Amino acid sequence: MRRHPLRLLITAGPTREPIDPVRFLSNYSTGVLGHTLVAEAQRRGHAVLFITGPTGSPPPRGVKTVAVETALQMQAALERAFPAVDAVIMAAAVADFRPARAAAQKIKRSGVAGGLKLWRLELVENPDLVAGLATRRTRQVIMGFALETSRALANARAKLRTKQLDAIVLTQMRGPRAPFGDTTVDGAIVKSSGAVQPFRRLAKPALARRILDTVERLVAQRGKTSSAA
Ligand code: C5P
């Protein structure tokens, strides 16, 4: 099939939110799905800008990559690139909270043996990056992800609505850490039209193909409505 090449912004991986110079808050995201999406997008001839948190995987070849650590750095990179793209695929697992202050020096334990020492870490909420982009979209198609442990479809639909996304990829937790890493995934692609495309035990390359099929279709539909307007 001949495709119209798109400009895609793809994010992946976790963010790291510093506690002090040697510690951070993060999550188990591996960036595997994001890297798979980049490879599939390249295969289809799309121009990709890849914004990634620290994943341990080498940056993909032949793709402009911006490496970031924190949610706020990812936000800055996204905002710079956003106006020029046709679609955003927000696969990054952005930390929802960050320490209110990062200590300038390594925080020391009190050194007292025995007894329960309580140490409080104050957190502030990070901005919702994808929701922020959605409020400023001109023509961009915006796809988010929802990793859910309970009431999966209802939660994914709620996120689709509150973040004003065009589609959301729901992935469901099976094992203790699934679906991070090289596993198959259960879930669904839910569109703002209400359409739900469920999938079971799908390998990540097959999921990447479905995601890109959906994005390509949504961009084509948007093109039709904006040229008709
Ligand atoms: O609310 P939740 O974190 O489950 O939403 C997941 C979706 O929102 C993902 O697409 C993720 O990249 C995005 N997100 C974001 N900014 C945040 C948290 C999540 O863009 N602070």
Domain ranges for the chain, please list them.
7-98+122-228
27 catalytic residue (yes or no): yes
Asked whether 71 lines ligand 1 (CB < 6 A), one says yes
CA distance 78 to 98: 19
Q: Looking at the domain covering 7-98+122-228, what would its CATH class be?
A: alpha beta
What global pTM score does this model have? 0.93
Ligand 1 centroid – CA 219 distance (Å): 21
What is the mean predicted confidence (pLDDT) over 137-164?
Answer: 96
Could you tell me which of 7, 39, 9 has the C-alpha nearest to residue 207? Answer: 39
Query: What is the reported pLDDT for 229?
Result: 41
CA distance 85 to 124: 30
pLDDT tens-digit series, residues 18-40 = 999 999 999 999 999 999 999 99
Ligand 1 centroid – CA 163 distance (Å): 9
CA distance 34 to 59: 11
Average pLDDT, the chain: 92
Asked whether 74 lines ligand 1 (CB < 6 A), one says no
Asked whether 90 lines ligand 1 (CB < 6 A), one says yes
pLDDT range class, residue 116, cuts 50, 70, 90:
confident
Q: Best substitution site from 129, 161, 211 to test ligand 1's pocket, by max atoms within 8 Å of Cβ?
A: 129
Residue 112 has pLDDT above 70, yes or no: no
The alpha carbon of residue 139 and the mean position of all alpha carbons in its chain are separated, in whole angstroms, by: 20
Ligand 1 centroid – CA 227 distance (Å): 31
pLDDT tens-digit series, residues 163-195 = 999 999 999 877 665 566 667 899 999 999 999
Instruction: Choose the catalytic residue: 18, 19, 20, 27.
Output: 27
